[in-house]
Chains A and B, each alone.
Chain A
């Protein structure tokens, strides 16, 4: 049950022609899997290492959420949780769902899936928010020897998650969502 990917050659220039993006599904899968793999260390490893008054303290994103919630500012905790944890996770799950739906040839709900794909692509760059925050903090808080903040490995993985999900979403050919569909394509 493969997606139609017959290839041809351009009679003028001889370039290869594809009906759909070549290897779209595979690439999307690969990058999605890579992003999912990176998502684990991104959340386990510290994002920032705060070195204050001689004692260093590593912070993970979820640890920060817990800290914020514990210190009573639950709205902030919610924002961080949604922006840094839910959205990347949501993107990964959405991608997976889209890919599975294409693979299985599930009928119905193509419009929703299309919308989901658009949303995933739109949200992409915004997930870099906490990477920005981390880099800004690190750049600003350098009050040696009293206090300094250093980036943790988590930031790297986090950035990798964001970039990889964006690439995965981009490499997914949205037309595949509509292939194998008896429904007449809507003329918009």
Chain B
């Protein structure tokens, strides 16, 4: 503090009293740092998303701090804690979501753990093999926010594709499973996304999802049927195999179409309910509005089944509705009873257009008219029922209605309902009766053969053989000498004939015989004539005009 002054001529540094120190510029630095830090903190707080909890049955491959929540392959959150909950029966995940994803967290948002999944219709989630499992979500449509969710056990088959859902009611699930394809004209247009037992346990509700743009083809008139596996049907009409595709063969499948006899209205709404038919035939069968029922009593039910065709003159006009037995109240004997359903409209469609009006009028006529018509058919025209074999391979039979004018008169009760139709034996039963008839005849023949008098016949044969022996002995003693004589006479005759022949040789063929001379003269004449003819023909060839003009002088 005290300055040592050795020399006076040294200039003294002028001292100033210390000023009140002003705030230095250097304070900008902490302010800047604080501003940046606060800015980052504020940004953090602003981007801080909600924290949610998810309940899962198991947390397969989920790790705290590592597993992420992905939506459309974008990370929108991560698991911060995994712990057991609900008295160790479930796993509770605490998930920190990004702020951007806050809008996805509504009531019906669904979460599931994505893990590699191999199904018949493809492999999904392969990316998780390297990145580990992640949590997928399907955004809901609700507006009510929610922070606690119960996760799904399996990924929903359809996540965010546009399309429409429909519900099919089936009696059982068959071989349909999640992801089973849905076909429209053999084109895959959707898949089965869920199934559940109906609330009353009476059947199964199958949810199918039809992708855009195919949902427009599902109309209220559409029929769905189970297209799983191979549809093999054996019936009186033969052997029929149908299948949609190899995938549906293995993984089951559903197909739909609009029957040809209805006109489709607009597309069906979301969640419309349809019946799932067992087969395409059933699904696309035309419902017959007018159905008449008749009873037939036969002698056997062999080869008949419910659904067997009823044909009128070969046109399918109905089917067997019931098969059963009836007891005769008097004799207590069982009789097979068939109930058939007859669809007269099918016959109308077979008529020529001009006659269809008439046919329709007949179909829609009253009960009395109908009875009258049938009575006319049966009593006057001889309409009869016959059971015929439709398929020799399987022995399936069908009900045939034909006119048989020679049939015996039927004993009809016109008051009964349903009406009983008269039956004439035929078809297989007929064949059997014929065969048994043949057997009976064979029996008769055998019986007759047995009655033949075989022993007397044998005795008679013996005596005739003895007679023959005697005859032959006679021939030896009497006939042979006579024959010898005849031979000698013949030899003489031959000698005479030889001599005659020699004479003719001499008279005709020796050189000096008259016949020879004449013959040679005749031959010479013939030679000359031939030469003259040749000269003439040569001349004519050169001068053909000679035939008309005669011989000229100049053409010699």
Residues of A near any B CB (own CB < 8 A): 2, 4-11, 17, 23, 26-27, 30-31, 33-35, 37-38, 40-41, 45, 53-57, 153, 157, 160, 164
Contacts and interface: CB of A to CB of B under 8 A. Distances in A.
Nearest to A33: B30
Interface stretch (B31-39, B171-179, B446-454, B478-486): B31-39
B535 interface: no
A45 B26 contact: no
B44 to A, nearest CB: 8
A126 to B, nearest CB: 22
Given A38-B33, A57-B66, A30 B18 contact: no
A56 B29 CA distance: 33
A54 B127 contact: yes
B14 A9 contact: yes
Contacts of B132: 53, 55
B130 interface: yes
Interface string B1-43: 0000000001111111110010110110110111011001100
A57 B13 contact: no
A17 to B, nearest CB: 6
Contacts of B314: none
29 contacts: A2-B21, A6-B16, A6-B17, A6-B18, A9-B13, A10-B13, A17-B13, A23-B26, A26-B21, A26-B24, A26-B27, A27-B26, A33-B30, A34-B32, A34-B33, A37-B30, A37-B37, A38-B37, A40-B37, A41-B36, A41-B37, A41-B40, A45-B40, A53-B130, A54-B127, A54-B131, A153-B40, A157-B37, A164-B33
Given A6-B17, A26-B26, A54-B127, 14 more contacts: A5-B18, A7-B16, A8-B13, A23-B26, A26-B23, A26-B24, A34-B32, A40-B37, A41-B36, A45-B40, A55-B68, A55-B75, A153-B40, A164-B29
Nearest to B65: A57
A53 B66 CA distance: 11
Interface residues of B, number: 33
Nearest to B128: A54
Given A2-B18, A26-B21, A41-B40, A11 B131 contact: no
Contacts, number: 82
B78 to A, nearest CB: 8
Nearest to B11: A11
B130 A54 contact: yes
B75 to A, nearest CB: 7
Interface string B294-336: 0000000000000000000000000000000000000000000
A34 B542 CA distance: 152
Contacts of A11: 10-13
Of listed B24, B29, B32, B41, residue having the most chain A CB within 10 A: B29
A55 B64 CA distance: 13
Contacts of A53: 130-132
A23 B24 contact: yes
A40 B39 CA distance: 13
A38 B29 CA distance: 11
B33 A56 contact: no
The 3 nearest A-B residue pairs measured at CB: A11-B11, A54-B131, A8-B13
Nearest to A26: B24
Contacts of B34: 34, 37
Contacts of A57: 65-66
Contacts of B36: 41
A120 B379 CA distance: 128
A35 B132 CA distance: 40
A23 B29 contact: no
A31 B16 contact: no
B408 to A, nearest CB: 88
B26 A55 contact: no
A33 B41 CA distance: 18
Nearest to B37: A41
Contact of A27 (B12, B17, B24, B68): B24
Interface string B205-248: 00000000000000000000000000000000000000000000
Contacts of A9: 13-14
Contacts of B17: 6
B322 to A, nearest CB: 65
A30 B21 CA distance: 14
Contacts of B21: 2, 5, 23, 26
B75 A56 contact: yes
A23 B22 CA distance: 9
Contacts of A35: 33
Contacts of A5: 18, 21
A153 B15 CA distance: 49
Contact of A30 (B11, B24, B40): B24
A105 B11 CA distance: 34
A34 B30 contact: yes
A30 B130 CA distance: 50
A8 B15 contact: yes
Contacts of B24: 23, 26-27, 30
B27 A30 contact: yes
B26 A30 contact: yes
Contacts of B127: 54
A2 B24 CA distance: 15
A100 B9 CA distance: 42
Contact of A55 (B10, B14, B131): B131
B75 A30 contact: no
Contacts of B26: 23, 26-27, 30-31
Contacts of B18: 2, 4-7
A144 B29 CA distance: 38
A6 B66 contact: no
Contacts of A23: 21, 24, 26
Contact of A34 (B13, B29, B130, B131): B29
